Chain A
Amino acid sequence: MSAQNNGAGPFRYSEQYTPPDPVRASEVAVTRFEDAFEVDPRLMEQWVLQQTFPNWDTLRIMHARADHLDWMHRHFAEKVVSGSEVLAEIDE
């Protein structure tokens, strides 16, 4: 299972524990997967050490959060009116 192929294929330990190279996202954060940010590892060397996650777990956590937020929308209202939709209307 590759990091990008979440949920399919065999688990290969070395593959799962080899995350993509980090890309700097800000002075204090890096990113390895699209939309998944992590604290710059240099800031987690003394009091809180960075944990190692298999790639699939990083993505699972990210997707679970999106699921949770979707659930919360449905819980409070039948539908969401998007800002971009309304912006387009007032720009007409």
Chain B
Amino acid sequence: MTITDEELTTVTDALREVLREDQVLTGRPDRFNRARVPAPFPVHRWAERLPDLAVLPENTEEVAEVVRIANRLRVPVVPRDGGTGLTDGAVPLRGGIVIDVKRINAIHEIDTENRTCTVGTGISMLKLNEELARHGLIYPDDPASYPCSLVGGRIGTSGWSLIGSRYGHTRDLVLSFDHVLPTGEIMHVGDGIGGKISKSSSGYQLKHLFMGHQGTLGVATRATLKLYPKPEAEFSPFFAFSDYDSAYACVGAFARAGVGTFSGAVLFDEWKVAYLRRDDEAYIPQPADVRALACCVLYGHEDEVRIGARRLMRIARDHGARYLGDEISEGDWAARHDRYATPLHGRTRSGQVVPMSWHCEDAAVNYTKLPQVTREWHAIIADLRSRTDVFDDWGTFCYTSAATGVDYLTEIDVGIWEQQLDDRAWEMWVGAKRDIAAVALRHGASISACHGSCREGEVDLVPDELGRGFGVMLDIKRSLDPNNIMNPGKYQLDRAYTSPGGER
């Protein structure tokens, strides 16, 4: 708790003037449940990340009222959607009010003629697509947290989509949205006038500014989204290779082939195969000469998918790929939409099973830099593991971000034994995260393609990555959030103020 009991009473009383009793939550379970995120953190320090209370607004105006109260009383506000982010965007670092948007989950309109829908940002893509399927439509924003992440969180993190190489990522799929600024003003933002416009040259392009800010610039509450026909067909072959270089070459060739239905390709390195060989039923029986994997994915009309599939199958054959069979291919791809449901455990150096949580470090890396970046990352984790059993290298994936194959969401998955994560191990981890980010920058990569870069460690290097742009971030933050109430402590944005609490 970061505010006194007296201040808490003042805040709670003010909130109860604009919300019902059941929308203002002060109980311990209510607060504890809204401090929880998937990324590992030392268990003994969780109390540092608790909100003082949580609210459940049901529309834009109620969110605005809450933010106005917070701004007036100088109380931190943290927006929380699915809470599935891996860079702590939804974690309150200074206590205050968590705005849980899950009740803002209505489907307001499905416009089949213009191919858009307008929804409350508390809806999940899965629930939305169940409804859209009745109209033969899909909203193809597909993160690995697909069943549990929410549209608003995707906006706040500017999310990355597994099938973004065909359909684009969240920034491409969200046309416009209503947004509550840190002062409590309500803004509609999109291209130009917003609404259902997909391309405008009128005024500054503000939409991207209000995406990916990790809740530091306000709360998206109602969004208009671009829709596509629900695909007739899916094709997702997985291939085995006896060496990494062949798999790397094959994935590059998939991405460069210019197939219209190409939705993504993935490269799995030797460390990832070794990890899967321990615990994944598809890979346990694979022969020892399987050392790297690749897959490609097509979605679209069946005739188009079949034409593209033949081309990519020939490319795979020319690169010495061994098809892993229909069951593995189809099962593995289907499981990628829902990685958060995967139970996890790692190994000590002696091979004993230990409970571990998943930490995913990601970067946006050009194709030609993938081998070097991933090798250097593995060396960093190998050094950690040589010192302690707390960390386990679970290998890397590289996913295409675009249809041309220019850059890849490159992630190294690290198992962390959270119960053993003491202060010393946490410091080691933060140092490793900083080193991982530094490797990315040295190779012209961006620190994050997907999750954001505001956790301890990598966040130290964000000013290096953005250069003068980081100063512009500080100027924007100070201008829009004069009292530093909106998710304070993130992205080093406190540097915009004379004191961390803003100009109090």
Q: Is the CB of B129 within 8 A of A75?
A: yes
Nearest B residue to A49, CB-CB: B353
Nearest B residue to A69, CB-CB: B334
Q: Is the CB of B351 within 8 A of A28?
A: yes
Q: Is the CB of A86 within 8 A of B309?
A: yes
Interface with A: B50-58, B216-224, B252-260, B278-286, which one? B278-286
Q: Is the CB of A48 within 8 A of B299?
A: no
Q: Is the CB of B281 within 8 A of A77?
A: no
| CB-defined contacts of A84 to chain B, threshold 8 Å | 323, 325-326
Given contacts A29-B284, A44-B353, contact A69 B237 (CB under 8 A): no
Nearest A residue to B348, CB-CB: A47
Q: Is B302 in the interface zone, CB < 8 Å from A?
A: yes
| B189–chain A nearest beta-carbon distance, Å | 30
Nearest B residue to A44, CB-CB: B353
Q: Is the CB of B331 within 8 A of A69?
A: yes
* Bound-complex Cα distance A44 to B353 (A): 6
Q: Is the CB of B234 within 8 A of A83?
A: no
Q: Using a Cβ–Cβ cut-off of 8 Å, how many residues does chain B contribute to the interface with A?
A: 48
The residue among B126, B233, B234 with the most chain A CB atoms within 10 A of its own CB is B234
* Bound-complex Cα distance A68 to B147 (A): 12
Instruction: Give the secondary structure class of A's interface.
Output: mixed
Nearest A residue to B129, CB-CB: A75
Map CB proximity to B onto A54-92 as digits: 1 under 8 Å, 0 otherwise: 000000000000101110110111111111101101100
Q: Is the CB of B334 within 8 A of A73?
A: yes
Q: Is A46 in the interface zone, CB < 8 Å from B?
A: yes
Q: Is the CB of A48 within 8 A of B354?
A: yes
* Bound-complex Cα distance A7 to B17 (A): 55
A-B pair count, CB < 8 Å, reads 115
Q: Is the CB of A81 within 8 A of B278?
A: no
Q: Which of A25, A26, A48, A66 contacts B353 (CB 8 A)?
A: A48
Map CB proximity to A onto B340-358 as digits: 1 under 8 Å, 0 otherwise: 0000010110011111000
Interface with A: B197-205, B310-318, B401-409, B423-431, which one? B310-318
| CB-defined contacts of B313 to chain A, threshold 8 Å | 83, 86-87, 90
| CB-defined contacts of A26 to chain B, threshold 8 Å | 277, 284-285
| A1–chain B nearest beta-carbon distance, Å | 24
Q: Is the CB of A86 within 8 A of B310?
A: yes
A:1-52 near B, CB below 8 Å: 25-26, 28-29, 35-37, 39, 43-48
Q: Is the CB of B279 within 8 A of A81?
A: no
Q: Is B337 in the interface zone, CB < 8 Å from A?
A: yes
B:301-336 near A, CB below 8 Å: 302, 305-306, 309-310, 313-314, 317, 323, 325-326, 329-331, 334-335
Q: Is B248 in the interface zone, CB < 8 Å from A?
A: no
Q: Is the CB of B231 within 8 A of A48?
A: no
| CB-defined contacts of A69 to chain B, threshold 8 Å | 330-331, 334-335
Q: Which of B142, B235, B279, B284 contacts A86 (CB 8 A)?
A: B235
Q: Which of B237, B285, B352, B354 contacts A25 (CB 8 A)?
A: B285
Q: Is B230 in the interface zone, CB < 8 Å from A?
A: yes
Q: Is the CB of B345 within 8 A of A76?
A: no
Q: Which of B278, B299, B334 contacts A29 (CB 8 A)?
A: B278
Q: Which of B231, B237, B314 contacts A77 (CB 8 A)?
A: B231
* Bound-complex Cα distance A36 to B281 (A): 7
| A89–chain B nearest beta-carbon distance, Å | 6
Q: Is the CB of A76 within 8 A of B138?
A: yes
* Bound-complex Cα distance A47 to B355 (A): 8
| CB-defined contacts of A75 to chain B, threshold 8 Å | 126, 129-130, 133, 337
* Bound-complex Cα distance A80 to B142 (A): 18
Q: Is B338 in the interface zone, CB < 8 Å from A?
A: yes
Nearest A residue to B324, CB-CB: A83
| CB-defined contacts of A48 to chain B, threshold 8 Å | 345, 353-355
Q: Is the CB of A83 within 8 A of B351?
A: no
| CB-defined contacts of B111 to chain A, threshold 8 Å | none
Q: Is the CB of A44 within 8 A of B352?
A: yes
* Bound-complex Cα distance A72 to B146 (A): 11
Q: Is the CB of A76 within 8 A of B281?
A: no
Q: Is the CB of B330 within 8 A of A37?
A: no
Q: Is B185 in the interface zone, CB < 8 Å from A?
A: no
Q: Is the CB of A76 within 8 A of B231?
A: yes
Given contacts A26-B285, A69-B331, contact A81 B302 (CB under 8 A): yes
* Bound-complex Cα distance A68 to B335 (A): 9
Q: Is the CB of A47 within 8 A of B323?
A: no
Q: Which of A45, A70, A87, A90 contacts B352 (CB 8 A)?
A: A45
In the assembled complex, 21 residue pairs joining A and B whose CB atoms fall closer than 8 Å, in A order, are: A29-B278, A39-B279, A46-B352, A47-B354, A48-B355, A66-B331, A69-B330, A69-B331, A70-B334, A72-B335, A72-B337, A72-B338, A75-B130, A75-B133, A76-B234, A78-B231, A79-B234, A83-B323, A83-B325, A86-B235, A90-B314
What are the nearest 3 A-B pairs in CB distance? A77-B234, A83-B237, A69-B334
Contacts A76-B299, A78-B232 known; list 17 others, CB within 8 Å: A28-B278, A29-B278, A35-B281, A48-B353, A69-B335, A72-B334, A73-B334, A75-B133, A76-B142, A77-B233, A80-B235, A81-B306, A83-B235, A83-B313, A84-B323, A86-B310, A87-B323
